[in-house]
Structure 1
Amino acid sequence: MLIYSLCISVYRVLNVYFINVSRFQSSLKTNELLIIHTEFLKKSVGSINQKLSDFDDFKNQTTYVFEKIYDMISKNDANRSIEYIQNISTDISEYEFEYFCENSVVNAILSKYIQKARKENIGVSVRVCIPESIHIDVMELCLIFSNAIENAIDASLKIKNPKDRKIIVLSNIQNEKIYIKIINRFEGKVHIINGLPYCSRHNHGIGTRSILSISEKYQGFCAFEAKDSTFSLIMVL
């Protein structure tokens, strides 16, 4: 009887211990996600604000620009005026946002990272249908896209032949669920351990852990797959 009572006591102590450990781990995950979320917001808002500030400066120079073009044309300096207009067009393109979906916040983030990929000569295909109103935190959705695409860019840049660098971004909504699939090519080996891509580099992998944490928060589905030199992130939220 004494042994039985001791066993019950030990069981209760262990049960309380593991519950507390589980809560502590969950708290760590939440805190880590909040830190990542905050840093992401700072970077994104800072980047967009900088672009808007630069664009405001550019607009303020509009009068000067047209005066200079008029002066060149009036002097029959066609070659210089054409060259100047081409340079202005290039400057304007730096501030353009591509249209991928109805959700303006998601669209801004996609535009930023897709342009980044294309500047690195990576082939990108995008089919995304996300409305303005969605059932999850839009910044967490943006966190998924930004981390996944940035990881895909990093993996693509390690491919020696630029023609083999490809990223596909797919997302839509069905039955009030958000479906996401992001695919990229890679060279070498990718190990999936405990459901996550393994990397020995310090602080690398925080992005994939944050993606998984968001999936768990919404009781969704998240899977990372690496097969035949193709890496895929599949999510349902």
Structure 2
Amino acid sequence: MSGKSGQKLSTIAFDADDTLWQNESFFRLTQSRFKELLRDYADSDHLEDRLLAAERRNLGQYGFGVKGFVLSMIETAIEITDERVPASVIRELIEAGQDMLSHPIHLLDGVRETLETLSPDYRLLLITKGDLLDQERKLAQSGLGDFFDGAEIVSDKTAATYREIFNRYACVPKETLMVGNSMKSDVLPVIKAGAWGVYVPYGKPWALEHAEPPTDSLRYSEIATLADLPGLIKTIQAI
């Protein structure tokens, strides 16, 4: 599939978590539970800093997603208690992770309508990172799978990752737009790969996904909600 004759864009790619459906809120609820379980061993801010440090340290081994998050919580609990953390706390952390892996999907406002608007005229791709089985489950339960001409679940999002995907789907970068809620993962590397990057903020960004916007790039845009995307695309097409 491609865009209509004369269009500058032919492919629209979407992030999944916190772009199409809720995700970060479940991490924050679990993190609050983690701090409550360990409140007798350290104050809340210190626990948050130690957990973030563990997550950063473990990304190379565990990758992004629930499993890595749970393992980082367990590692932090062991460290913060000098290996005296009760087994009951470890059990609760594991159960919290299991709950996260089975939570129902809640689509964000305007998602289905936006995909319905764009799918007749553009090739739509899903490009997301995280646990393979979890992301496959969420896509299946979302009911959005039929909108996409392809779905890519990757370990990380770099310019090289995007170039490989573009090559696989024969996408012309300058005719491809990626939209997502992470400046670091969904915008900066895709612009570096030669495509358009659209930032749609949602909630409080994870500290490890923070990055400054490329305001000097003509291929960067920000929208308030996904419902604003069709209008933005029309504007780009008219340039």
TM-score, normalising length: structure 1: 0.26
Query: Greater strand percent: which structure?
Result: 1
If asked which structure has higher relative contact order (CA below 8 Å, sep 6+), I would say: 2
Q: Which has the higher helix share?
A: 1
Is the radius of gyration larger for structure 1 or structure 2? 1
